[in-house]
Every structure is written in C-alpha cells, then in structure tokens.
Amino acid sequence: MKKFVPLTVVAILVATPLLARQHNSGNISLSTTALSFNGSSGNVSSQPLTITSTGQRSVTIQTLSFSNGTFSNSSVSLPATLSHGQSLTVTVIAKPQSTAQTGKLTVTSTANDPTVSLSETAISTKTPHSVSLTWRAPSNSSDPVDSYQVERAASGSTQYSTVGTTVASSTAFTDNSVTSGQTYVYEVRSVDESGRTSNPSNTITMTIP
C-alpha cells in the first residue's frame, strides 16, 4: 500500500531594498512660478527671477529656454554652477504685442528643471482723449484778474473740483485727466490778487468718446 507524504510548501520572501533619494542631492528653486507683464503702454518691461541652489550638492544651471519669442532674458553667462545656498538672478524681458501673450520659461539644470508661467497683456488700442477749453477775459471788471480757475464736475453732480489754473494772460486750458465714456461739466472762475474768486462762468458739457 502506497503511503502519501504531504509536502510542506515554504514561501520565501526576498525583499529588494528601495533606493531612497539621497538627502544630499542637488536641487534648485525659483523665486516665483509665474510672471505677468503689462504690455498696454507699448513699452518693453522686465522682471527679475532668482534661481537658488537648495540641495546639498552643487547644481549647474545649463540653459534658459522660452516657448514664446515674445519673452527673453538679459545676457547671463551659462552654464553657471551654484553651490548650496547660492543664487543667480536673471532678468526676464517681455516685448509688447498687439495681442495678449502667454508662454513658459524652462530652467534646465543638472538637478531638476522647474518652469515659470509667463503672460503679457496686449498693447492698448485706446486713443487718449483730452478736453480743450477757451474763454474770454472779463472786459468790465474793476477788480484785476490774477489767474483763472478751471472747475469740473461729473454729469449730474453739483460737486465741482478744480482741475487746473492759468495765469491771467492765458484764457485756455487742456484737461488731460478725462476718462473714456464719462461726461463732464466745466466752468471757469477768475481769481484776484487776494485769492477771491468770481461767480462761475456759463457751463459747458463734454462727453468723452
């Protein structure tokens, strides 16, 4: 008679140790992850970006690359090696365009490759407006005029504020502080040497396109 001997199954677990990232590895950090530029004035603008070595080992900054040619950086000598705690500051430049722009700056190094989101508003197409006023000097005043005071109020308001003054020999004034879409009411007063003002002139209403 055959006799069956039960087999003993032994499971052997072989653990393979994971290689943890060394704490003394190199690393870089950036002063910001996004830069926004105002291109509405039509002028080239710039902002600083600081790259800092935060790891234990030295890191070499190899390249700075831009995904959009609107953006660039000032002259900087690369590659550049940074020891722990050292920083490199570069200037990021944006050239204004007729349309809004976006892009990305990638900092390539021997450690990590962080990125910065870039954006710029479009050149403003609004034409600046102004209001030019002229008036006649009083012809029958016994009190000599020393200067004129130009006052302005928003349409519908009775609160006037002085927006400019002229000397007695000048009977013209240009208001460059107007806003598109607004309506203003103007009046002029003469001022004597003692600072006393006359009654206001007739008013004129101007709507800014």
DSSP 37-72: E--TTS--EEEEEEEEE-SSS-EEEEEEEESSTTEE
CA distance 121 to 125: 12
Q: What is the pLDDT of residue 100?
A: 94
Domain spans, the chain: 28-120, 131-207
Q: Give the model confidence (pLDDT) of 44-83 as tens digits.
A: 999 999 999 998 899 999 999 999 999 999 989 999 999 9
CA distance 197 to 146: 10
pLDDT of 139 above 90 = no
Half-sphere exposure of 76 (CA within 13 A, CB side): 23
Q: Give the model confidence (pLDDT) of 149-203 as tens digits.
A: 999 999 999 999 999 999 999 999 999 999 989 999 999 999 999 999 999 999 9
Q: What is the pLDDT of residue 168?
A: 93
Mean pLDDT for the stretch of residues 6-28 = 50
Annotation: CATH topology of 28-120: Immunoglobulin-like (2.60.40)
Q: Does CATH number 3.60.21.10 belong to domain 131-207?
A: no
Q: What is the pLDDT of residue 70?
A: 96
pTM of the model: 0.53
Mean pLDDT for the stretch of residues 137-158 = 91
pLDDT of 97 above 90 = yes
**Same topology for domains 28-120 and 131-207, yes or no?**
yes
CA distance 116 to 66: 10
